[in-house]
Structure 1
Amino acid sequence: MLLNELYQKLMPYQKAKRWIIGLSGGMDSTVLLHLLVKLKKQFPIPTLSAIHIHHGLQTIADHWPDHCQSICDQLNIPLTIVKVTITQQASIEQAARDARYTAFANQLQTGDILLTAQHKNDQAETLLFRLFRGAGVKGLMAMPNQRPLGQGTLIRPLLNTPYDTLKHYAESNQLCWIEDPSNQDTHYARNYLRHQIFPKIIDYWPQAIHNIVQTSEHMQEAQKLLNELAQQDLLEAQTNSLYHWLTIPSLLVAPLKNLSTARQKNALSFWLSNYTLQPSTQHWHGWFDLINAKETATPIWQLHNAEIHRGNHRIWLLKNDWLTKPSSVHLPIETAKEISLPNNGLAKLSGKLPQGSFYITYRQGGESIPLIRGTRDLKKLFNEETIPYFLRQRLPLLIDLQGNLVAVANYPQWFNKNYSKDFTFEWIAPHFSS
């Protein structure tokens, strides 16, 4: 029966490139491996292999790769062993989990399926654990049955299978597995929940695991509705890019301000989920400071690995190269060409440059440029165009040997009238990657 259930759950993934089992050597993953080998003998399934992540957090764990290798050799399943280093963090459990999934992601190729062995009891524990930490709807969904991971997909085919069912299968088939002694250490929050709290709950409410998992399913439905609402609320804010040469994600402020506080947070959470970790409950004050700031202000909301800037009636999401201030440059230019700008994309000069020496640099303050209608301060031109502050520091400027401003990249209307306009000056901004 367990084998048939597994086959039904994995049927949609039969055309995958590879099925890879995350094999810790514990009972759960050993049962999953054993079931998949049986499945392989009965049905045409993708290439089957296993991967063991060696954390090395305890001396006894040094023997686990050998144990996993022995099992895989007996079953004729290729095994990859990946050793990872755990960085010191407040939660060693979370650090180990992060390192494990990073290693998994690095091993997956396009079309690969990673299969892990979390079961129904794990799902109930996850929801309760997150409840104690004050999670919202998204957190109380617990673990999804599937999600993207690296270039592949993570599938949890045993998530609705009770622990006792797996234990019975393991014992009936006389399987050998590793018992991790750290799983008994109740100094770890998850273990305390498992060994001290859950047994008492189940004694009093025998159906607790089933009901808790059912709650996670209700939360998944609720989150789908919230996502649909967020998409509707973002329609007006997600207009076309203000600058055709800029790939930074942005949203109009006015449509967001018209939403209730709850809908603002929901819409923004949905939008941010593509780019960075969700803000904590305490962290949201930064959003309200930003959106309620004066129009002339330049507030910044610091996120996990990104920043939200406000400018030109929009919010802008900056990360990766956009968080690194471009290095000061004074690059000599003699002929039309493309010039690489450190931490700032490319500058491109096309056409016929005038005689003389020119340089590419950035704004220092106090620049002015003689236009057809008179000399103008660059700062005032920027203000009139309401160019966001983060862009002002990055727009390449072309100056001559005497330090006169000749042109501003991507703004052909700002061109020194003392020079013939026989060339173009473009900035190819750093590409935004999520």
Structure 2
Amino acid sequence: MPSVSDIVQKFVTAHPEVKRWWVAYSGGLDSAVLLKGLVSVGPPQPVVALHVNHGLSDHAEEWQSHCQKQCDDLGVELVVERVRVKADGRGLEDAARQARYEAFERHLASGDALLLAHHQDDQAETLLLRLMRGSGPKGMSAMTDQRSVAKGVLYRPLLGVSRTTLEEQARQWSLSWVEDDSNSSLSFDRNYLRHQVLPAVRERWPDFAEQWQQSAGLCRQSEELVQEVATEDWLRMEWRPERLGSSISLTALKALSSFRRGNLLRYWLEQQGLPLPERVHLQEVEHQLIEGREDSSAEVEWGGVRLRRSRQRLFLLQEDKISSAPVPAQLWDGRAPLQWGGWSLSLESVEQGGFRLPAQGFQVSARLGGERCHPSWRDRSQTLKKLLQEADIEPWLRSKLPLLWVNGEIAVVADLWHCKGWEADSEPGYRLIWRSLDGVE
């Protein structure tokens, strides 16, 4: 087995594009060995240690002081990031990890590489944890050896190295490190596996960690194939942006097998950075939205994600826009663009088919209910509710429509139509441009 220095040397040589090396340095044995190994290589780029102080232990300040002393001895700059850990029902381990990665993102710039000291035993623990949670191929891929973080890249160069090898290397280098007192607490799942489960597994199958690493690699290959299928299917989904989110063709989605539909939905949500569905959510999508009636008002929701159907399309709706409070009425002269809540309203001149601009301007408001109007192309007035139903406007969008009023009567309904008496005959005409502030029209 090559030494840690040899492994790090080979790794550094393979990444000449890196402009600055960061090491996530907790002060524990693993990160101490990784930092020493990197310094011993002597890369031409700057080396910086990043210590995240979670403030969860009574010894947190002692650990930070220890990290500072070790970095001073190595001639390495230490950056300390203090974070507040909020469990929010996720569990302390997950919350601390989230806070840690947010700290990483605040520091990594383009060309930066962040090294984490996860090793083969950590990988085995992660694999078993995800197995206990019922993970699929993606979860069973365990930890990847690299991924993007902010503008930089995170690497785990020691995933093939055992904890025993790191301990031997630390003794050879006479390193000093801290022991996290929480590592002995069996209330944490990872510690329970480390102290109660895996020692028995290792006694029976000494090489289990290497074999599990191979299984994780095979799962990763399967996940890559699944992603390739999703990418190909996505090209047929006719995706388009919508005012309150985005949508895909329900007809194209139905043409896929059930498995590929679920795979495609995960792909879509992952591209948006949204929480992925569990099996129960996919079952609801199948039953209520894909197999449901065209006029169904069913909605499938989880973690701020909302899916609905309309006009043979499946809509992914943005929670913040859907649940936003009604926008107060505003006066608008129509001459300059108006920011109306989360929307931008402006007028564009047209040669024919437009509406007039009144001298006093418009009052802009959302629907309150009970409104009537007389579209210029109809022979009589009708309730706005009925007209919007006839126009097949998505139900969730109807309450968001900007209505332009003059003297207590509706003159213009969003960018859909204008009302009787507001036709521009011999004078310049206009049409309403209604966009969300992120540019979707």
Q: Give the TM-score, by structure 1 length.
A: 0.91
Name the counterpart of 1:425: 432
Q: Are the structure 2 counterparts of residues 293 and 340 from structure 1 closer, same or farther at C-alpha, using a change threshold of 3 Å?
A: same
Counterpart residue type for residue 58 of structure 1 = S
**Aligned structure 1 segments of 4 or more residues deviating by more than 4 angstroms:** none
Q: What do residues 245-273 of structure 1 show as CA deviations (whole Å, max 9, x unaligned)? A: x4833211122223222221112112211
Q: Are the structure 2 counterparts of residues 60 and 367 from structure 1 closer, same or farther at C-alpha, using a change threshold of 3 Å?
A: same
Would you say the 8 A contact 1:290–1:310 is kept in 2? yes
Counterpart residue type for residue 344 of structure 2 = L
Aligned counterparts of 2:63 and 2:165: Cα–Cα separation in 1:
24
Give matches, 1:335-354, under 5 Å. Answer: 335-342=334-341, 344-351=342-349, 353-354=357-358
Would you say the 8 A contact 1:236–1:255 is kept in 2? yes
The worse-fitting range, judged by mean Cα deviation, of 288-297 and 63-72 is 288-297
Counterpart residue type for residue 49 of structure 1 = V
Name the counterpart of 1:389: 395
Q: Tell me the SS of whatever aligns to 1:8.
A: helix
By how many angstroms is 1:380 displaced?
A: 4.0
Q: What do residues 376-424 of structure 1 show as CA deviations (whole Å, max 9, x unaligned)? A: 543344334432222222221211122x22113333xx11231243223
Q: Are the structure 2 counterparts of residues 66 and 408 from structure 1 closer, same or farther at C-alpha, using a change threshold of 3 Å?
A: same
Name the counterpart of 1:22: 24
Aligned counterparts of 1:235 and 1:82: Cα–Cα separation in 2:
42
Instruction: State which of 352, 361, 370 in structure 1 corresponds to 2:365.
Output: 361
Unaligned 5+ runs, structure 2: 350-355
Would you say the 8 A contact 1:354–1:420 is kept in 2? no
Would you say the 8 A contact 2:244–2:318 is kept in 1? no
Q: Are the structure 2 counterparts of residues 314 and 432 from structure 1 closer, same or farther at C-alpha, using a change threshold of 3 Å?
A: farther
By how many angstroms is 1:139 displaced?
A: 0.7
By how many angstroms is 1:240 displaced?
A: 5.1
- RMSD (Å) for aligned C-alpha atoms: 2.2
Would you say the 8 A contact 2:327–2:340 is kept in 1? no
Name the counterpart of 1:149: 149
Name the counterpart of 1:64: 63
The worse-fitting range, judged by mean Cα deviation, of 22-31 and 373-382 is 373-382
Aligned counterparts of 2:411 and 2:290: Cα–Cα separation in 1:
36
Structure 1 position 127 matched with structure 2 position 127: yes
Give matches, 1:1-400, under 5 Å. Answer: 1=2, 2-40=4-42, 43-44=43-44, 46-88=45-87, 89-237=89-237, 239=238, 241=240, 246=243, 248-275=245-272, 276-288=274-286, 289-319=288-318, 321-342=320-341, 344-351=342-349, 353-365=357-369, 366-375=371-380, 377=382, 378-400=384-406
Aligned counterparts of 2:121 and 2:347: Cα–Cα separation in 1:
63
Q: Are the structure 2 counterparts of residues 367 and 143 from structure 1 closer, same or farther at C-alpha, using a change threshold of 3 Å?
A: farther
Name the counterpart of 1:410: 415
By how many angstroms is 1:56 displaced?
A: 1.2
Aligned counterparts of 2:49 and 2:372: Cα–Cα separation in 1:
62
Q: Give the TM-score, by structure 2 length.
A: 0.90
Q: Tell me the SS of whatever aligns to 2:59.
A: helix
Q: Tell me the SS of whatever aligns to 2:401.
A: coil
Identity of aligned residues (%): 33
Q: Tell me the SS of whatever aligns to 1:277.
A: coil
Q: Tell me the SS of whatever aligns to 1:79.
A: strand
The worse-fitting range, judged by mean Cα deviation, of 311-320 and 127-136 is 311-320
Q: Tell me the SS of whatever aligns to 1:428.
A: strand
Aligned counterparts of 2:415 and 2:209: Cα–Cα separation in 1:
60
Would you say the 8 A contact 1:3–1:39 is kept in 2? yes
By how many angstroms is 1:235 displaced?
A: 2.3
Q: What do residues 157-209 of structure 1 show as CA deviations (whole Å, max 9, x unaligned)? A: 11111111211111100011111111111121110101111011111111100
Q: Are the structure 2 counterparts of residues 341 and 136 from structure 1 closer, same or farther at C-alpha, using a change threshold of 3 Å?
A: same
May I ask how many residue pairs the two structures share in their alignment? Answer: 423
By how many angstroms is 1:4 displaced?
A: 2.8
Aligned counterparts of 1:387 and 1:370: Cα–Cα separation in 2:
16
